[in-house]
Every structure is written in C-alpha cells, then in structure tokens.
Structure 1
C-alpha cells in the first residue's frame, strides 16, 4: 500500500477540488492518505511568488475556472463572501484535531465545505467558533504545540521544494494541482512512463534566459 502525503491550505479552491475528487480518482487502488495542513502564504514567500488571487486578472480567471471545474466534476462550490482571507485559524483548527497534526478526511471535508460551500465569510469569528464546537479538536488551537506542528508541516513542504497547493507526494514524487490526479493514478498503477527521461530528465534541461528581478 502506498502512502500519499496531501499538502493543503483551505484557502485554495484547487485544493478543495482535488480533495473532493481524490477518492474517485484513486478508486480501486490500495493507498492511504495523510493530510498535512500548510501555510500557503509562507510557501509563496519562500519562492518569491504571488498567489493566484494576488494578481487581479489571474484572480478573475481563477474564480471562473474553479467554478467551471467544480461544475464539470460534480463538486459543490460557492465562492466565499471574500477571498483571499486569513486561513490561519482554519489551519490551526485542522491541526488541533489530531495528536500528530494530521487531520482525518472528515475534519478536512468539514473545513473545506465551511469555506467553499456556503458563500459566507470563511474567517468570520462566529462561524469559526461554531466550526470549532462542531469538530471538538483534541488539542488547543492556540497552543504552541499546534502552532509548531503547523510550522513543521509548512517547513517540510518547503524542504520538499513544494511551491503550491494541493501537492501530493508519494515515494518522493510530487504531483501538483487538482489536474494532476490522473498522473497520480497512473503512477500508483505502475506506469513505466515515470521511469522514462520524459519524467526523470527534465531537471537537466538548460535554462536559456533568466529575467532580472
């Protein structure tokens, strides 16, 4: 059985699309999934990038695309009242729901739906309090332990050179984005293409030009 580490931030609609589609995408394949909340903003900062919602024209496209993709795959999706928002409280809540900081699918589903299926403010204090009461985390969301677990997940993601969410890692191989699910399935089924130079040799491709910062 293969173990898939699924790195997520609830701020990402693509993470919600991948999360919802994952069971069907991997149907019939023996596997286990470990969900790891990470701070997407910290990953972006490490790589010197802006998030999709921080570039106005890309922001508009992102919202159009994810609504189309949700419609196409049958995933419920309603844009929150505002986006982007501060997802730290949700990440800490998810982390606090497991002693190891790796929430189960039930917890992640509840939080994703809180953000992407209501059309309401995801970071609203009253809604967060109600979600906390519903999930009944075993740990204290404000504790140093939870903060350190979330930080450790994020640092782990950065150490793996992950640059976005969702990122799914198995056998040290990275599959990024909800559109990578067919590739992930093929890899888990033993597709020989993943031993070919098309997969293994891309890092050796020379850089022709680099833009100055």
Structure 2
C-alpha cells in the first residue's frame, strides 16, 4: 500500500475541490492518505510567486473556474463572503485536533466544508469559535506546539520544492493541482509512460534569459 501526503491550505479552493474529489479519483486503489496542512502564503513567498487572488484579472477568472470545476466534478461549492482571508485560525484549529503533523479526514472535511459551502464569512471570529466547538481538541490552537507544527510542515514543504496547494506527494513525486489527479492515478497504477524520457527529463533544458538579465 502506498502512502499519499496531501498538502493543503483551507484558503485554496482547488485544495477543497481536490480533497472532495480524491476518493472518487482514487477509487479501487489501495492507498493511505495523510492530510497535511501548510501555509500557502509562505510557500508562494519562498518561491517568489503571487497567488491567483493577488492578480486582479486572474482572481476573477479563478473564482469562476473553481465554480465551474465544482459543477463538473459534482462537488458543492460556494464562494465565501470574503476571499482571500487569513487561513491561520483554521490551519491551527485543524492541527489542534491531532498530536502530529497530519489531520484526519473528518476534521479536514469539516473545516473545508464550513468555509466552502454556504457562502459565509471565514473571517468572522464567531464562525471560527462555533467551528472549534464542533471539533475534537488535543492541543490548544493558539499554543506554541501547534504554531511550531504548522511552521515545521510548511518549512518541510518548501525544502521539498512544493510551491502550491493542493500537492499530492507519493514515491518522492509531486502532483500539483486538482487537474493532476488523473496523473496521480496513472502513476499509482504503474503506467509505463512515466519510465520514458518525456517524463524523466522534461525539465532538463535551459530556460530563456531576457536580454540584460544575468542567469
């Protein structure tokens, strides 16, 4: 049985859609999934990237696209009243329910659905408090242990080269995004295409350097 580490941030609508679609995408395969919260903003900064919501026209398209993707995958989704929002309270709340780096599917699902269904405001402290009352807790969400765990998860993801969420990690390979789920399944099924140079050496080529800039 292979183990998949599902790196996620509740801020990401694509992480929500991938989380909901994952059981269907992997149906019939013998796998174990670990759900690992990370701070998406820190991943983006580490790699010098902007999030889709930080680019005005891309933001509009992204929101329309995720609603369409939800329709295509039969996953209920409503845009929250505010987006982007600060995901830290939710990430810490999730980790407070566990004594390690990963959260279970029930807790992860409960928080994702609270944010991405119904169109509520995830920045409302009362909403976070109500959600906290529904979840098990073994650590304090604002305690040093939880904060340190989230930093450790995120730092490890950066070191591994993870640049966004969702990222599914298995066999040392990273599969990024909702649209990579079919690729992930093909990998798990042992598709021989992955043994070809097309996959192995895809990135082994020089990148173009604009005139006047040094490499």
When the two structures are superposed, what TM-score results if normalisation uses the length of structure 2?
A: 0.96
Which deviates more from structure 2 when the two are superposed, residues 98-107 or residues 20-29?
98-107
Gaps of 5+ in 2: none
Contact 1:26 1:185 in 2 (8 A): yes
Where does 1:5-154 land on structure 2 (aligned, <5 Å)?
5-154=5-154
- Give the C-alpha shift of residue 123 in structure 1: 2.2
- Give the C-alpha shift of residue 105 in structure 1: 0.6
Give the secondary-structure state (helix, strand or coil) at the position aligned to 1:158. helix
Please provide the CA RMSD for this pair: 1.2
Aligned residue-pair number:
213
Q: What whole-Å deviation, never above 9, does each CA across 1:13-49 have from its counterpart, x for those lacking one?
A: 0000100000000000000001110000001111111
CA distance in 2, matches of 1:107, 1:55: 31
CA distance in 2, matches of 1:210, 1:171: 36
Partner of 1:171: 171
Gaps of 5+ in 1: none
CA distance in 2, matches of 1:5, 1:210: 37
- Give the C-alpha shift of residue 210 in structure 1: 4.3
Structure 1 stretches of 4+ with a deviation exceeding 4 A read 210-213
Give the secondary-structure state (helix, strand or coil) at the position aligned to 1:203. coil
CA distance in 2, matches of 1:114, 1:95: 16
Contact 1:6 1:167 in 2 (8 A): yes
Give the secondary-structure state (helix, strand or coil) at the position aligned to 2:58. helix
Give the secondary-structure state (helix, strand or coil) at the position aligned to 1:24. helix
Contact 1:85 1:122 in 2 (8 A): yes
Give the secondary-structure state (helix, strand or coil) at the position aligned to 1:7. strand
CA distance in 2, matches of 1:82, 1:172: 36
When the two structures are superposed, what TM-score results if normalisation uses the length of structure 1?
A: 0.97
CA distance in 1, matches of 2:209, 2:198: 22
Contact 1:101 1:146 in 2 (8 A): no
- Give the C-alpha shift of residue 136 in structure 1: 2.6
